[in-house]
Amino acid sequence: MTPPVNVLVFPTRNEPGLETVQALAKSNKIRLFGGSSYESRFDPARHFLEHYILCPGCDEPDFEPRFKEIIRKHDIHVVFPMWDPLVAIFSRWNVPGTVFITPDAETAQLLLSKRATYERLSGIVPVPRLFDPEDAAPPLFAKPDRDSGSRNTMHVTNQLQLNSAVEQGLLLCEYLPGREFTVDCVSNMDGALLFANVRERSRIGRGIALGTEAIAEPAIQRHVRRIAAELRIRGPWFAQFRENTAGSPVLMEINARIAGSMTLTRFCGVNIPLISVFLFTGEQVKIPRMRPVLINRCLRTFADETPFESVIWDWDDTVIRKDGKPDPDVVACLYDLHNRGVRLFLLSKNAEAANLMLRHQVPDFFIEKRFAEDKVAALAELMASHKIDPRACALVNDSYAETFLVQERFPDLRTITPDAIEVLGRERL
């Protein structure tokens, strides 16, 4: 068996870092490391990551030698930066045996500046009009040239606010009053776009989308394809758009990293952080079929999903984690589904699963436990014998290879990986 890849997510304290940890934590292909530099006491990742590292800050003079020592000490194969300045820093590093999930250095540097990005893409996609202070008049939108999200931004509605924006050196942009969108993207190592998911940012807080929904927006998809062709950003990236007064989407910014609310795209069936690790370690990747989902984020993540009556579970690396212990989230989910009257089945290649279930005291809520090497054929037999409607059924399985076979044979059957069992919902109390 191929040993797992050691992946370091840094920093884990922000929303992109926490999303990436959740996206990678349950893959048996990865040994996950994470860490932050500042306020690590308030980093939720330290409570659930076995390999948590206190890291130096990138603004410290000895950051590079200290961070490279962390890479050496822990034999890190992949470094996954979660902050735009770090993306630019790591894009210039060359550490034998370690890859950094970044675009090339020139592109990473370009994307740090909104002004430079607009100038590069002007005439390719719609970009905001920029105003010199002497020509500016409210209403405007003012924002830093080298920051991301909604931090330190200002809706300028009067002369006093305009004076303040000018004093702060903010970019003075046309005001875009319409709907806001983020497009979660991933491109191959040559910069060719593999996948783009448009989502509407319906409820925003802390600079991230707390309520967001995957939607079809052909105009934005066209803009993203043009951006990808022009910039050739390799790996994960996202673009943000907002509608102008005419209702047309205009580019606001591009970031060459994971977005905090890429949770939605993962719940739709496409795990961009995991795909990115595979890309940068030389693996061949395919993009699974996506199912649109709406999520609301608070302290937990909930997903809207059509009703289902049955759930079929895999055993290894699904009910049982990659370390051989029961997954407590899955066990809780089994109890929850049982409480809701959902029919549960077990389908595994592991003929010892029934004995392991007793040994580990996993609740046996399964109507039938079936074991077979050919899981697709066994799945067909199981569904036929219990009259399971694939449109009202979900399969929870860790193997992407099996997922593609199942999706081809049963296009209406929902396929869910263990990192996304929140899609199954919870009992209402």
CA neighbor of 37 nearest in space, from 19, 18, 52, 15: 52
Question: Per-residue confidence of the chain (429 residues) as pLDDT tens digits?
Answer: 688 999 999 999 999 999 999 999 999 999 999 999 988 888 888 888 999 999 999 999 999 999 999 999 999 999 999 999 999 999 999 999 999 999 999 999 999 999 999 999 999 999 999 999 999 999 999 999 997 666 778 999 999 999 999 999 999 999 999 999 999 999 999 999 999 999 998 777 666 677 889 999 999 999 999 999 999 999 999 999 999 999 999 999 999 999 999 999 999 999 999 999 999 999 999 999 999 888 887 755 667 778 899 999 999 999 999 999 999 999 999 999 999 999 999 999 999 999 999 999 999 999 999 999 999 999 999 999 999 999 999 999 999 999 999 999 999 999 999 999 999 988 876
CB 135 within 8 A of CB 233: no
- Alpha-carbon Rg for the chain, nearest whole angstrom, is 23
- Quote the pTM value: 0.84
CA neighbor of 363 nearest in space, from 317, 327, 309, 321: 327
Report DSSP letters for 283-323, one per residue.
----PPPP---EEEESSSEEE-----SEEEE-TBTTTB-TT
pLDDT in tens, 199-209: 998 777 666 67
What pLDDT is stored for residue 1 in this prediction?
63
CB 26 within 8 A of CB 95: no
CATH of 306-424, one of 3.40.50.1000, 3.20.20.70, 3.40.1280.10, 3.30.390.30: 3.40.50.1000
**375 phi and psi, to 5 degrees?**
-70, -30
Write down the CATH number for the domain with range 5-102.
Answer: 3.40.50.20
Beta-carbon contacts of 61 under 8 Å, excluding residues fewer than 6 positions away, are: none
Residue for token pair 């009556």: 309
Asked whether the CA dihedral 74, 80, 82, 83 is positive or negative, the reply is positive
**20 phi and psi, to 5 degrees?**
-65, -40
CB 84 within 8 A of CB 148: yes
Structural domain spans, the chain: 5-102, 110-115+177-297, 129-174, 306-424
Length of the chain: 429
What pLDDT is stored for residue 23 in this prediction?
97
Q: How far apart are CA 110 and CA 107, in angstroms?
A: 5
Structure tokens at 64: 């590079």
Q: How far apart are CA 81 and CA 256, in angstroms?
A: 10
Protein fold of 110-115+177-297: D-amino Acid Aminotransferase; Chain A, domain 1 (3.30.470)
What pLDDT is stored for residue 149 in this prediction?
62
Q: Helix, strand or coil for residue 364?
A: coil
pLDDT in tens, 265-322: 999 999 999 999 999 999 999 999 999 888 887 755 667 778 899 999 999 999 999 9
CB 15 within 8 A of CB 261: yes
280 membership: H or E segment, kind and range: helix 272-280
Domains 5-102 and 110-115+177-297 share a fold: no
